[in-house]
Structure 1
């Protein structure tokens, strides 16, 4: 099983987060204004430079994982497929990005194949071991290699970050959030009320 250290971090923020969710109408954790990220310098599966800025104008869901993950990663990506379906006419305004924490095994070709297995519009990004470590630190993501027989698995944070169309981080979807809850939150970002409430600013500062 994956190590959900991020969820542990959130445990002490439950009361504040609940207040923010009630006010903003979000099901997810509102992390508007946090210092997470705000971007990365990696490469796409084809080797071209990758940045979150490439998706300005779209809402981005960013998830860290690896292709040989037995449960959390495929479940999260399958949920993303359902979220996109639930968005209907707004589906083309969503971009799903998967960053590998296992660049040693996750080659560009393997990542491309893995994304196509879920949705051809989903993209994967990767980096060197050093770039991976730096990006994980910038995004407050935990990961580590865990020996398993003659191979290994990866413990990693099970959270999906959401960025709005202007490239600002807004939400954190927990692993147990339903596709419907996530889709409802994305609609709020895509079609915000007149007064956009960014509560819990500085939550992770």
Structure 2
């Protein structure tokens, strides 16, 4: 793998965690200089994506076991975010925003996988996640809500820059990526639904060789 292909997720995402908004201050305005949608910058070096993200087995809202990289990420255009179902403020608001994004995408939404990872795996069992998706009206084949035991979730969340001592301390930042072509962006959750949808649509476009 060439270095300009930057599969070094540690150097791109883990810049994300430094600028991501914490859950407890999600309502505070970001500095004016920070764009709502920003492309991640290439990093030097290489890293195998499967090794980096890990193939940790997790469970979706239907109780199915999925390997994180091979079954949830590989060869997909994805949007990743972190939630916990007992949250009464940011999480349901962001879930509703993402539902709106899928509505804006229309028939193109089927080509994009949303992945919501719980920061509270001890309480967010598959059954609890299923109830949350039904309540929010977001239960569908192209939106995965993933959980596991605490060690599994800590590993996966850590690989996307989310070290969360408590469920409330997760970042509300959105991460979107074209996994196959190693193109990633970070998006503030207060970005307009149309802007988030546009970024995702750009990631579905073929890469032009130079």
Regarding TM over 0.5, the answer is yes
Instruction: Tell me the residue number matched to 2:138.
Output: 119
Q: Does structure 2 conserve the Cα–Cα contact (< 8 Å) formed by 1:67 and 1:73?
A: yes
Q: Does structure 1 conserve the Cα–Cα contact (< 8 Å) formed by 2:58 and 2:65?
A: yes
Instruction: Tell me the residue number matched to 2:200.
Output: 186
- How many Å separate the matches in 2 of 1:125 and 1:29? 26
Larger helix percent: 2
Instruction: Tell me the residue number matched to 1:132.
Output: 153
- How many Å separate the matches in 2 of 1:41 and 1:72? 27
Q: Does structure 1 conserve the Cα–Cα contact (< 8 Å) formed by 2:84 and 2:118?
A: yes
Give TM-score, length-normalised by structure 2: 0.70
Give TM-score, length-normalised by structure 1: 0.71
- How many Å separate the matches in 2 of 1:168 and 1:32? 11
Structure 1 stretches lacking a partner, 5+ long: 1-5, 19-26, 146-152, 197-205
Larger strand percent: 1
Instruction: Tell me the residue number matched to 2:99.
Output: 81
Instruction: Tell me the residue number matched to 1:50.
Output: 67
Give me the CA root mean square deviation.
3.1
Evaluate the alpha carbon distance shift between residue 170 and residue 7 of structure 1 in structure 2; reply closer, same or farther with a 3 A threshold: closer
Q: What is the number of residues matched between the two proteins? A: 174
Instruction: Tell me the residue number matched to 1:67.
Output: 85
Describe the SS at the equivalent of 1:60. Answer: strand
Evaluate the alpha carbon distance shift between residue 42 and residue 52 of structure 1 in structure 2; reply closer, same or farther with a 3 A threshold: same
Structure 2 stretches lacking a partner, 5+ long: 1-14, 21-30
- How many Å separate the matches in 2 of 1:28 and 1:38? 23
Runs of 4+ with >3 A deviation: 32-40, 55-58, 192-196
Query: Whose relative contact order is higher, 1 or 2, with alpha carbons under 8 Å and at least 6 apart?
Result: 1
Evaluate the alpha carbon distance shift between residue 8 and residue 97 of structure 1 in structure 2; reply closer, same or farther with a 3 A threshold: closer
- How many Å separate the matches in 1 of 2:179 and 2:111? 8
Q: Does structure 1 conserve the Cα–Cα contact (< 8 Å) formed by 2:16 and 2:186?
A: no
